[in-house]
């Protein structure tokens, strides 16, 4: 069965650079969620989209923005990167069952 | 103010049932309880969810107390591959958004 695809899987950036993470949800899923998981931490909800509109907003820094496109894929844009942004970033997609999420493999971002 | 409370760690013998409790005493009346697990740094995996009735699927059973303030995830015949961090998740309303809140999770170790 098709799963959530995230790209890139690994990304290394310098401080103050920008990064764009991409997420391709499971086909026919209309909801996308983004999470950040720091080293030794639990996943923290950043933001979600339903039918290309922002639906819920969590602890997403102002330096980050995200959107969902017409083909339902989503991108998380991160600017002015800081060392503390080094983390695993997970995308999850959801369909008809509210709140049920299927996670991708994550993007490991390292900021040097 | 923790939205969910789980034991930090538990262990279980292979082949025996693993019973993982979660306290969610502040859950609102129409919110579901979701259970996920995360193996090492992989994306969290959906297990099961419920509202007020007990639920069972091919992975696990979920027992929810009548007052909905706590629940127990049951893995009927634990295997070594069930070793993971198990998260009990509820959505919390904050500023008009519904935030999926992971909490600290229970590290389950299944031993031979």
Closest CA to B107 of B80, B77, B78, B87: B87
pLDDT of residue B88: 95
Distance, CA of A91 to CA of B69 (rounded, Å)? 29
**Cross-chain Cβ contact A99/B49 below 8 Å:** yes
Region B4-11 average pLDDT: 95
Q: What is the mean pLDDT of residues A62-72?
A: 96
**Would the pLDDT of B1 be above 70?**
no
For residue A103, list chain B residues with Cβ-Cβ distance below 8 A.
Answer: 36, 43-46
B56: closest CA among B48, B64, B67? B48
Q: Kindly report the CA angle at A107 between A10 and B39, in degrees rounded to 5?
A: 110
In Å, how far is A61's CA from the nearest CA of chain B? 15
Question: Which residue in chain A is spatially nearest to B90 when comparing CA positions?
Answer: A99
pLDDT of B2: 55
DSSP-assigned letter for residue A36 = E
Count the residues in chain A: 112
Interchain pair A102, B46: CB under 8 A: yes
Selected residue with higher pLDDT from B2 and A22: A22
What integer best gives the mean pLDDT of chain A? 94
CB atoms within 10 A of CB B16: 12
In sequence order, the 6+-apart residues with CB closer than 8 A to the CB of B52 are B64, B66, B68
Indicate yes or no: CB of B43 within 8 angstroms of CB of A92: yes
> Percentage of chain B with pLDDT > 90?
75
How far apart are alpha carbons B78 and B13 in whole angstroms? 7
Tell me the nearest-neighbour CA distance from B85 into chain A, angstroms: 10
Distance CA A74, CA A104 (A): 12
Cis peptide before B56 (omega within 30 of 0): no
Across the interface, whether the CB atoms of A98 and B32 are under 8 A apart is answered yes
pLDDT at B78 over 90: yes
Which residues on neighbouring strands pair with residue B49, listed in sequence order? B34
Per-residue tokens: A84 = 């503390």
Could you read off the pLDDT of B35-71 as tens digits, one per residue?
A: 999 998 899 999 999 999 899 999 999 999 999 999 9
By C-alpha distance, the chain A residue nearest B106 is A42
Task: Give the pLDDT score at B3.
Answer: 84
Distance from the Cα of A59 to chain B's closest Cα (Å) equals 9
pLDDT mean over B23-31: 87
How do residues A27-40 score in pLDDT, each as one tens digit?
Answer: 999 999 999 999 99
* Whether A100 and B49 lie within 8 Å, measured CB to CB: yes
Please name the member of B34, B44, B102 whose beta carbon is closest to the beta carbon of A99.
B34
Of residues B29 and A71, the one with the higher pLDDT is A71
Pick left, alpha or beta for residue B47 (phi over 0 → left; psi -120 to 50 → alpha; otherwise beta).
Answer: alpha
How large a percentage of chain A has pLDDT more than 90?
A: 91
DSSP H helices, A1-112, are none
Q: With an 8 Å Cβ cutoff, are B43 and A98 in contact?
A: no
Distance CA B1, CA A46 (A): 19
Q: CA-CA distance, A55 to A108, in Å (whole number)? A: 25
């Amino acid at each position: 069965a098709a799963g959530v695809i995230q790209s890139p899987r690994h990304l290394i950036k310098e401080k103050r650079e920008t990064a764009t993470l991409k997420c391709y949800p499971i086909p026919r899923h209309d909801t996308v969620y983004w999470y950040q998981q720091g080293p030794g931490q639990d996943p923290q909800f950043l933001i979600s989209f339903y039918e290309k509109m922002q639906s819920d907003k969590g602890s997403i820094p102002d330096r980050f923005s995200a959107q969902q496109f017409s083909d339902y894929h989503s991108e998380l844009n991160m600017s002015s990167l800081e060392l503390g942004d080094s983390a695993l970033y997970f995308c999850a997609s959801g369909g008809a069952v509210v709140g049920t999420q299927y996670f991708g493999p994550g993007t490991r971002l390292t900021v040097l | 103010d923790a939205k969910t409370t789980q034991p930090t760690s538990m262990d279980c013998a292979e082949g025996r049932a693993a019973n993982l409790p979660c306290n969610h005493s502040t859950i609102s009346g129409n919110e579901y309880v979701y259970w996920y697990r995360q193996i090492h740094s992989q994306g969290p995996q959906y297990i099961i969810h419920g509202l007020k009735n007990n639920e069972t699927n091919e992975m696990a059973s979920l027992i929810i107390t009548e007052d909905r303030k706590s629940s127990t995830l049951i893995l009927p015949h634990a295997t070594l591959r069930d070793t993971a961090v198990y998260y009990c998740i509820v959505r919390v309303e904050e500023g008009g958004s519904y935030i999926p809140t992971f909490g600290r999770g229970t590290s389950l170790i299944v031993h031979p």
